[in-house]
Amino acid sequence: MKLTVKKAVLGIALCGFAGSALAQEAALEPPTSTRQFDIEVGIGGSLQSRYPGSDEYLFSPFPIFSVGRFYVPGLGQVLDGRRKNGIFFFPSLDFHGERKASDDKDLTGTRDVDWAFEAGLGAGYRTEHWRAFVEIRQGFNGHTGQVGQLGADAILYPTDKLEFNIGPRLGFGFGDYMDTYYGVTDAESAASGGRLRQYDPDSGFTSVGLAARASYSLNDKTRLHLAAGYDRLIGDAANSPIADVGSKDQFRISTGISYRFSFDLFD
């Protein structure tokens, strides 16, 4: 397993968005504040596969940002994170590093794939002790397809200060996402000298896995977060000759710290 540090410019670009698993799921946790606005911000770092199907890993910084309560004059509390039951929404963002034919001799002949940013929305339903959700993202730059996942978590409270979530994940991909990361054109197959067979993947489920996250409250305002996950490529993604070059096992781990601000702006 190789460790690749992302170019600084990409790290800076990524920090412009709240795109990590920590940032997404922080929005699902109910704060205790009764103020009109309740906002959680922080910083973290993530280690994950360089690109889908890769056996190389990259580290990148990311911001943690979530809104627990939000007030609109005339409408009142349009978002109230104190409720532990009900429908929730959250931003779903992700990032993939570039893939070059020069990365591995077995990729010789394939086209280079630029870094890709994915942005979308997630939605689900939660109770105090479990939640289920779906998220979908649109790709930009490196690919222009759609990707997302289905998930469910058990929510446990080992202590008053510790919340622990764990559950299965099922990933899916459509269109240019599948062609970009798992497809091999006739021209690429010929340029590889026959090492890579021509392959045209269909849209569908791409991975199955497990994710876990723990959040520990240092005090009423500050929390520490640790998240980890494992995915195994399945279906047309696993059958791709590109997956044979890299790895069908994908791991990720992230950690961070956040601080919650609560305040009123309107009478």
Residue 204: CATH number of its domain:
2.40.230
- Position 84 scores a pLDDT of 67
121 near 135, Cβ under 8 Å?
Answer: yes
Confidence of residue 66 (pLDDT cuts 50, 70, 90): confident
State the Cα–Cα distance between residues 44 and 66, nearest whole angstrom: 14
DSSP tag of 7: P
Cα 242 → chain centroid:
22
Q: Pick the residue with more confidence: 194 or 173?
A: 173
Q: Which residue has the higher pLDDT, 37 or 177?
A: 177
User: What is the arithmetic mean of pLDDT over 252-256?
Assistant: 94
Contact yes or no for 149/121 (Cβ under 8 A): no
39 pLDDT band, cuts 50/70/90, is confident
pLDDT digits (tens, 9 = 90+) for 154-187: 999 999 999 999 999 999 999 999 999 999 999 9
- Pairwise pLDDT comparison (70 vs 180), residue with the higher score: 180
Q: Give the C-alpha separation, 174 to 176, whole Å.
A: 7
Instruction: Give 3-state DSSP helix, strand, coil % of the chain, rounded to 5.
Output: 15, 55, 30
The answer to whether residue 26 scores a pLDDT higher than 60 is: no
Task: Supply the pLDDT for residue 148.
Answer: 96
**Burial letters for 129-162: b for 16+ Cβ neighbours within 10 Å, e otherwise?**
eebebebbbbbeebbebbbbbbbebebeeeeeee
Alpha carbons 155 and 173: distance in angstroms, whole number: 27
Average of per-residue pLDDT values in the chain: 85
d(CA 33, CA 261): 9
Mean pLDDT of 57-73: 81
Total Cβ atoms within 10 A of residue 86 = 9
Confidence at residue 267, expressed as pLDDT on a 0 to 100 scale:
77
Phi/psi at 82 (nearest 5 deg)?
A: -70, -25
- Containing domain of residue 65, as a range? 2-263
* DSSP string over 176-242: HHHHHHH-B-HHHHHHTTTSS--B-PPSEEEEEEEEEEEEEESSSSEEEEEEEEEEEE-HHHHTSHH
**In percent, how much of the chain has pLDDT > 90?**
60
* pLDDT above 70 coverage of the chain, percent: 85
Report how many domains make up the chain. Answer: 1
pLDDT exceeds cutoff 70 at 6: no
DSSP 25: H
Q: Which residues touch 104 (CB under 8 Å, ≥6 apart)?
A: 245, 246
Q: Is 204 left (phi over 0), alpha (psi -120 to 50) or beta?
A: left
At 82 the pLDDT is: 59
Is 186 buried (19+), middle (13-18) or exposed (0-12) by CB count in 10 A? exposed
> Which value, to the nearest 10 degrees, does the dihedral of the CA atoms of residues 204, 209, 210, 211 take?
-60
Query: What secondary structure, in 3-state letters, does 40-83 show?
Result: EEEEEEEEEECCCCCCEEEEEEEEEEEEEEEEECCCEEEEECCC
